[in-house]
């Protein structure tokens, strides 16, 4: 990125951008994107409710694929979470020089038309890049809100987390342990399983690629059943977990990464268990969708 010039006018400025060029059907490849330089006018007029920003850090999360596929118009810079400095403000909550965290675009300078999706950074005593990382960035917010606000866990409960070594999963696992729950995670390699058990404090973990029978693995780890399933993957794992949920258990659907790139989504066959093991209020199936994120403008 170019060196920041604090008093530069952003009305007309060379702006390097990553453009969503070709529609993604399944997996994202380089051919779907294109780097361009634009010189469009990016002025946040007084009282317009917009802010113009210089993007300082951009996050590269699994969730970016969804932000591209479902929220970025073709021909526009791709949407993503980032840290930026306000250059001009037409919004009462922001002033020039403020640091903000939230949904911006993959480009050097952006005009943010819905700044309410951004949070002002008050604590700059940590590296600003931390706001695009695991703890203070979007995965951290997702893990915290997903576990404490959506799962409503209680001490002593049994918790299963898929994609447990990922950015969201490893934090949910650590929150779970801090609360005094029993936690098991699944991951795709011996190294990740070791990390979960020996570094992140999981009570147990298994390699879902080596377990030929997911039912058997879940039965071994949860002989008394699962109180909370924090689902990051969907698909076969969700199907297997449905059989091992306790009565009044809670499934929090955070993501379904095993399905994102498939041409044909896998079916889930054990959905009847949602009725048999109904949610804690006795009326609804115990599934909650996690939508910790602001609406994308």
Ligand X SMILES: NC(=O)c1ccc[n+]([C@@H]2O[C@H](COP(=O)([O-])OP(=O)(O)OC[C@H]3O[C@@H](n4cnc5c(N)ncnc54)[C@H](OP(=O)(O)O)[C@@H]3O)[C@@H](O)[C@H]2O)c1
Q: Which residues form the interface with ligand X (CB under 6 A)?
A: 61-63, 138-139, 142, 163, 165-169, 187-188, 192, 232-233, 254-258, 290-293
173: Cβ–Cβ under 8 A, 6 or more apart, which residues? Answer: 161, 164, 183, 185, 196, 200, 201, 202
3-state secondary structure of 104: strand
Report how far Cα 70 is from the mean position of its chain's Cα atoms: 14
Q: Which residue has the tokens 């802010």?
A: 51
Rounded to the nearest whole angstrom, what is the least distance from the CB of residue 22 to ligand X in the complex? 22
Dist. CA 269–CA 51, nearest whole Å: 48
Would you say 174 or 292 has its CB closer to ligand X? 292
Q: Give strand pairing partners of 88.
A: 52
Looking at the Cβ atoms of 249 and 255, the one nearer to ligand X is: 255
Q: List, in sequence order, the alpha helices (H) in 42-110.
A: 64-66
Give whichever of 86 and 237 is closer to ligand X, judged by the CB atom.
237
| Least distance CB 224 / ligand X (angstroms) | 25
As a residue count, the chain comes to 297
Nearest approach in angstroms of CB 50 to ligand X is: 25
Which of residues 43 and 134 has its CB atom nearest to ligand X in the complex? 134
Report the residue number, 66 or 270, with the smaller CB distance to ligand X. 66
Please, what is the minimum distance in Å from the beta carbon of residue 28 to ligand X?
Answer: 13
Query: In the complex with ligand X, which residue's Cβ is closer, 51 or 153?
Result: 153
CA dist., res. 62 & res. 100, Å (int): 22
The Cα–Cα gap between 184 and 63 comes to 23
Cα 209 to Cα 296: distance, rounded to the nearest angstrom: 35
Residue whose tokens read 């979007």: 138
Q: Are 133 and 126 in contact (CB under 8 A)?
A: no
Which residue, 3 or 263, is less far from ligand X as judged by CB?
A: 263
| Minimum CB distance to ligand X, residue 291 (Å) | 6
- Residue in the structure block whose two tokens are 């361009």: 36
CB of 73 to ligand X, least distance (A): 21
Q: Which two tokens stand for residue 86?
A: 């306000």
Minimal distance, residue 192 CB to ligand X, in Å: 5
Name the minimum Å distance from CB 217 to ligand X. Answer: 14
CB atoms within 10 A of CB 156: 10
- Of 52 and 232, the one with the shorter C-beta distance to ligand X is 232
């Amino acid at each position: 990125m170019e060196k920041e010039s604090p008093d530069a006018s952003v009305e007309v400025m060379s702006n390097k951008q990553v453009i969503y060029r070709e529609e993604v059907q399944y997996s994202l490849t380089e051919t779907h994107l294109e780097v361009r330089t634009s010189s469009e006018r990016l002025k946040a007029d007084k009282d317009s409710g917009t802010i113009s920003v210089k993007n300082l850090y951009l996050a590269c999360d699994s969730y970016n694929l969804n932000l591209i596929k479902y929220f970025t118009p073709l021909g526009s810079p791709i949407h993503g979470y980032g840290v930026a400095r306000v250059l001009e403000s037409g919004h009462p909550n922001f002033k020039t020089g403020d640091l903000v965290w939230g949904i911006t675009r993959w480009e050097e300078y952006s005009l943010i038309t819905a700044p309410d999706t951004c949070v002002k950074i008050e604590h700059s005593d940590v590296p600003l890049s931390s706001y695009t990382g695991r703890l203070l960035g979007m995965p951290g917010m997702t893990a915290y809100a997903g576990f404490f606000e959506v799962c409503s866990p209680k001490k002593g409960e049994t918790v299963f987390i898929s994609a447990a070594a990922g950015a969201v999963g490893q934090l949910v696992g650590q929150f779970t342990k801090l609360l005094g729950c029993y936690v098991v995670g699944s991951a795709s390699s011996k190294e990740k399983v070791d990390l979960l058990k020996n570094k992140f404090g999981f009570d147990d973990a298994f390699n879902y690629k080596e377990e030929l029978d997911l039912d058997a693995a879940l039965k071994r780890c949860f002989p008394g059943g699962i109180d909370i399933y924090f689902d990051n993957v969907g698909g076969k794992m969700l199907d297997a977990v449905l059989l091992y949920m306790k009565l009044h258990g809670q499934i929090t659907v955070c993501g379904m990464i095993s399905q994102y790139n498939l041409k044909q989504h896998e079916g889930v066959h054990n959905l009847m268990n949602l009725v048999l093991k109904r949610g804690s209020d006795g009326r609804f199936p115990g599934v909650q969708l996690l939508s910790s994120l602001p609406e994308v403008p």
